[in-house]
Amino acid sequence: MITKELVDLEELMGYHFSDKTLLIQALTHPSFNSGKSDYSNNQRLEFLGDSILGSVLASWIFSEFPDEDEGELSKKKAMLARGSHLTSIAKSIKLEEFVQASPSEFCEETGFRDSLLEDAIEAIIGAVFLDGGYRSASEVILKWTPLFQKNLVQSPAEFNPKGKLQESLQARSKNCRISYHVIRETGPDHKKEFTVELVYNGRTLGQGVGLSKRLAEENAAQTILAKLHSI
């Protein structure tokens, strides 16, 4: 990746790295150099960035909502840590234009998988932390405050897609049987990705992918809700 490309991304992030190799590593998906014994990728940085992001989000939510109890604060933090939210952050800085990954990870119609972009965002946060410390990482994350606020105005139905789907399908049939089944697990132990299929009255309606079984189930339910008119 050439220096000009890195500078373009740094401008979009609002942070300039002293050690550009950290940024390059954060942008390198494991599939890019797969098979090479001496390659580096962004998995370790993902692990670090996930923790830094959680800490900054908790602090921001705690200050932003002084009258809410622990349960409501936890709910808001969970919403902002959702994969769909991280994907929206990645797209806000055009991250898909800078990620290095195998062509097999790219789809002409949809681009890179959302989970790949989520991982890259967390890796970049980890890289900023190593390059400039916690304060720098916090400043980068808090530049995305407008996206935080936008996502927090989601309706309860959007935050609880499984419950909303249950209600919608029960309205259509009194004998409503919904089940979720994990059909695939991929990735390293600290960052597993689950694929879940949603079955309604013995019929598979669709699938969802997430970094936990719960998120995969919610994403499956959200997908079905979006196309419920065709069921």
Q: Exactly one of 50, 114, 118, 197 is catalytic; which is it?
A: 50
What is the distance between the alpha carbons of residues 201 and 224, in angstroms, rounded to a whole number?
14
DSSP 45-61: HHHHHHHHHHHHHHHHH
214 neighbors 188 (Cβ within 8 angstroms): no
Can 19 be counted among the known catalytic residues? no
The number of beta carbons lying within 10 Å of the beta carbon of residue 19 is 12
Q: For residue 167, what are its two tokens?
A: 């209600």
Considering 118, 119, 122, 217, which one is annotated as catalytic?
A: 122
Which residues are CB-contacts of 169 (< 8 A; sequence separation ≥ 6)? Answer: 176, 178, 200, 231
* 122 catalytic residue (yes or no): yes
Separation of alpha carbons 231 and 166, rounded Å: 14
DSSP, residue by residue, 118-174 = HHHHHHHHHHHHHHHHHHHHHHHHHTTHHHHHHHHT--HHHH-HHHHHHHHHHHH-S
What span, in angstroms and rounded, lies between the C-alpha atoms of 166 and 59?
Answer: 34
Query: What does the alpha-carbon distance between residue 220 and residue 200 come to, in Å, rounded to a whole number?
Result: 12
Identify the CA nearest to 42 among candidates 103, 98, 81, 110. Answer: 98
Residues noted as catalytic: 50, 122
